[in-house]
Amino acid sequence: MTTSQTEPPTYDALLIVSFGGPEGPDDVMPFLRDVTAGRGVPEERLAEVAQHYYHFGGISPINAQNRALLAAVRADFAATGVNLAVYWANRHWQPWLADVVAQMRDDGIERALAFLTSAYAGFSSCRQYLDAIEAARRRVGPRAPRIDRLRQYFNHPGFIEPFRDATQSALATLPPEVRAGAPIVYVAHSIPEAMNAASGPAGGMYARQVAEAARLVHEALDGSHPSRLAYCSRSGSPSVPWLEPEIGQVLTELAEDGAPAVVVVPIGFVSDHMEVRYDLDTEAAELAARLGVRFARAATPGTDPRFVAMIRELALERLGRAAPRALGPTSPAHDVCPDNCCRFARSHPA
Ligand SMILES: CC1=C(CCC(=O)O)c2cc3nc(cc4[nH]c(cc5[nH]c(cc1n2)c(C)c5CCC(=O)O)c(CCC(=O)O)c4C)C(CCC(=O)O)=C3C
Ligand SMILES: [Fe+2]
């Protein structure tokens, strides 16, 4: 490793950047139109997803989760003497990125770190956030703060350890006679195969990072549990291939193999998004019930103190005040994405 002559840059803020979600029935369609603008998601799929939100009164859990995370990070920074103002903005709903970046400028923020509420490489999970941040900065104009993204954290102990404990806790909720040997199904958001092929500098990085996170969680278990990887929340045209197998297919196969119970671990999500509450807790749980398979779902990191401390550690790394940590054989992910990283055709609007 070469020692740099230059001091690490100074930062005056941390910006939590998330997806956003509706907070009432009237928000649902405008939110869905924003998410799918120019993406070719069929109208029937939009209507179907709208129903998932209406099922919960039109309220996504994601904004409340992020308010809680914002409060937890502020408290953690105050308690540990980290002198960074903490903000929160969304890519697809209020508080909009452009509004928050303008507020940061008005508050005198010149340079900020960004924490993305997605642990993985990929167009949807990384590049689209970077593009949205830059678009917001352009709208705010020349005095907009510079914003540098914190690295992907799929293999950080602060992400993996809460999932390990949550998987053990979910197992413990199963009756003892079905617990030993219960398959563990790790689930992430599906993406088009072409998007996965374009993820990371060398391609295929989203699926590789998801598989590695699942492996890191799984190696902490007692060895009696078969492990499966599955994907949820596919959308888009049926003729376009997406990452598989789908969670429903895996549950069906496990039932055919005689599994009496499963533990589903939403490794692709940092908190209980609608995909977790609907696609897993509602849809997948109902399928498991029909198949006669007991179903337990592991908690997401949410505001687990280790996850909150990870955000602090990732920031301190970039301030040159902490060494990067990562579990397993994969190194800590790069700080700055190469320009070709995670580009997907649709990231270049005409
Ligand atoms: C990889 C990934 C993550 C994880 C990384 C991250 O967190 O960013 C993620 C998160 C989320 N996705 C979310 C919601 C939606 N995603 C959609 C559509 C899509 N997601 C995709 C991928 C991902 N999505 C893709 C390839 C599409 C197809 C259209 C397109 O190429 O853009 C649609 C349109 C309808 C539909 O097709 O389902 C909705 C409503 C919410 C909010 C949930 C809530 O309200 O709690 C969250 C956190
Ligand atoms: Fe999504």
Name which residue sits closest to atom 36 of ligand 1, judged by CA. 235
- Residues 6 or more apart in contact with residue 311 via CB below 8 angstroms: 14, 73, 76, 115, 150, 158
Dihedrals phi, psi of 85, to nearest 5 degrees: -70, 145
258 alpha carbon – ligand 2 mean position (Å): 32
Which ligand 1 atom is at minimum distance from the Cα of 61?
46
Identify whether the C-beta of residue 92 lies closer than 8 Å to the C-beta of residue 22.
no
Residues 260-298: tens digit of each pLDDT? 999 999 999 999 999 999 999 999 999 999 999 999 999
Q: Distance between CA atoms of 158 and 305, rounded to whole angstroms? A: 8
Q: Which residues contribute to the annotated binding site for Fe(2+)?
A: 189, 275
Which ligand 1 atom is at minimum distance from the Cα of 20?
42
Q: Which ligand is nearest to the CA of 234?
A: 1
Name which residue sits closest to atom 37 of ligand 1, judged by CA. 235
Name which residue sits closest to atom 11 of ligand 1, judged by CA. 19
Helix (H) or strand (E) holding 129: helix 128-140
55 alpha carbon – ligand 2 mean position (Å): 18
Any ligand 1 atom below 6 A from CB of 344: no
The pLDDT > 90 percentage for the chain reads: 87
9 alpha carbon – ligand 1 mean position (Å): 33
Residue ranges of domains in the chain, CATH in brackets: 13-152+304-347 (3.40.50.1400), 157-297 (3.40.50.1400)
Which ligand 1 atom is at minimum distance from the Cα of 242?
26
- DSSP 8-state code for residue 223: S
pTM: 0.95
Residues 296-323: tens digit of each pLDDT? 999 999 999 999 999 999 999 999 999 9
